[in-house]
Amino acid sequence: MPAIMSNKPATRLNAAPQNRLTEEFLASVDDLGATVLRLNATIELGIDLTREREPNLLVETFCRGAQDIIGAKYAACGMTGRDGHEIAYLHTCGLPADTADLLRDAASQRSLFRWMTESGSADRRRAIGGDIRRVGLPENHPWIDSFLGVPIHGSGDTPGWLYLAEKLTGDRFTDEDERLASTLAWQAGVAYQNAHLHEENARHRITLEGQAQTLATQISERERAEQTGAQLQRQLLLAQKTEALGTLAGGVAHDINNCLVPITSLTALMLETAQAGSRDQTCLELIKEAGDRIGDLVGRILVFSRREAAVNAPIDLAAIFRESVNLLRATLPATVDLRSQVAIDHAIIEGDAGQLQQILLNLCVNAADAIGDAGGVIEISLDGIDLEQGLDAVDGRIAPGRYYRLRAADSGCGMDQATIARIFEPFYTTKEPGKGTGLGLAMVHTIVVSHSGHLRVESRPGAGTAFEIYLPTGEPPAREC
């Protein structure tokens, strides 16, 4: 906004009045020029006030603008807060700092300012002659002779005031000055109200954004809870099936084992005296093999239903791994390319060596079945891993910590999600009748859980399957300094 330096254009100085008409005409031109300048400045100030959103900057802009347009040595503008008395925003032009400080207190108490905001009327004075106290200004206010104060109207209230003191071009403030100041004050009032509305909107927006964020968090927490609930339900179902089978197994194992005694003992006894190559020997060997297989099956059921006590002792997983690899190389079909990798020399944990070997054997036998006659690759590995963050597993979430990781991956047919969801259920099998008991992975799961471990499985139809077993080392996680 251009500063209004003078309302007497240069033409007025150079023009020599030749007669009264000419003088009046030129005076009118002068007035018109001054009015145009004021009008332009007023419009520009109006635009500035409309754009300003910060109440304190708005008060400053208005105070400076009004001072320039009307032409006063001193100006001050105060806007009350929500209580209508205390000055929330104050800006002064031309006044010393100590006067401005006193003005803030005075404006809240002195009757002049209170009168303007309460009555909504303007106050115009002249010939003050420095009698500051008469006006109601602070005692350290600079000397003035003329004064114009106007209220700033808002919507239904009067939130502030503007005063101009010591008119620059004359000894008094005119009617026109008062009208102009009132108009500007009205604009400032609307802008101030808009700024407040904007501020309130912004506050509401922040509140709403916060509420939206809270709602989003609640929704995501609920979704997570639902996922956890579904997982817990699956775990419960699996646990119930295992428990039911365990109860059944415990009940029948006693009878089955009793029945197995003659089958295995007496056939073995008779085989001692059977003639080599005789039909009796062949039959007895078949009976014994059948008995052994039943014994093996009962043993498996007892293991995975946790009826068979585990032998817990310090064992070396790495040694068990190497031993199992030798066993697997001897037993897996030649079409399977078994690749193994042990990244650690020793992996000592408390556990049951037989059961842990069973894990690797079961996973590899399953992998070989998934690969089929066409052949393929089984990769098994053992390493140590520091989990800095939790990891989802079949039976819940793996807590951060230090683990031994046993991995078995195959290039076989893979599984869909529906199959993966059921593979750890006892007696669930995708193999042909007679080719699988449906206990292999149920056993693996039970053994892993009984060793405080966790199982992860990744598989896609046609893309193979990878099982990962995490067994806690019992050591605190390693931290890099």
Partner 1 sequence: MARILVIDDEKLVRASIDAVLSAKGHVVTLAVNGREGLDQIKKGDFDLIITDLIMPEMEGIETILAIRKQSTTLRILAISGGGRRQIGDFLESAAKLGADFVLKKPFSNDDLIDAVNRATA
* Residues at the interface with partner 1 (CB under 8 A): 247, 250-251, 253-262, 264-266, 268-269, 272, 291, 295, 298, 302, 306-309
CB 273 → partner 1: shortest distance, Å? 9
Joined together, the tokens standing for residue 404 give 């031994």
Cβ proximity to partner 1, 241 vs 306, nearer residue? 306
Q: H or E element: which one contains 349? A: strand 348-351
Cβ proximity to partner 1, 99 vs 264, nearer residue? 264
Helix (H, G, I), strand (E, B) or coil at 108: helix
| Cα–Cα distance list, 307 to 241, 247, 248, 351 (Å) | 14, 9, 11, 16
| Cα–Cα distance list, 56 to 82, 150, 157, 195 (Å) | 15, 19, 19, 10
Dist. CA 423–CA 465, nearest whole Å = 12
CB 434 → partner 1: shortest distance, Å? 23
CB 285 → partner 1: shortest distance, Å? 15
Dist. CA 402–CA 79, nearest whole Å = 65
Cβ–Cβ < 8 Å for 333, 364: no
CB 393 → partner 1: shortest distance, Å? 26
Cβ proximity to partner 1, 265 vs 278, nearer residue? 265
Q: H or E element: which one contains 472? A: strand 465-472
Cβ–Cβ < 8 Å for 416, 409: no
CB 262 → partner 1: shortest distance, Å? 4
Cβ proximity to partner 1, 209 vs 243, nearer residue? 243
CB 252 → partner 1: shortest distance, Å? 10
What crossing angle do the helices spanning 353-371 and 440-450 adopt, rounded to 10°?
A: 150
Cβ proximity to partner 1, 17 vs 262, nearer residue? 262
Q: Which residue has the tokens 């020399």?
A: 345
Residue 306 burial by CB count (10 A; 0-12/13-18/19+): exposed, middle or buried?
middle
CB 291 → partner 1: shortest distance, Å? 8
Joined together, the tokens standing for residue 443 give 């056993």
Cβ proximity to partner 1, 256 vs 338, nearer residue? 256
Cβ proximity to partner 1, 212 vs 239, nearer residue? 239
Cβ proximity to partner 1, 260 vs 338, nearer residue? 260
CB 318 → partner 1: shortest distance, Å? 27
User: Which among 255, 251, 249 is positioned nearest to 304, based on CA atoms?
Assistant: 249
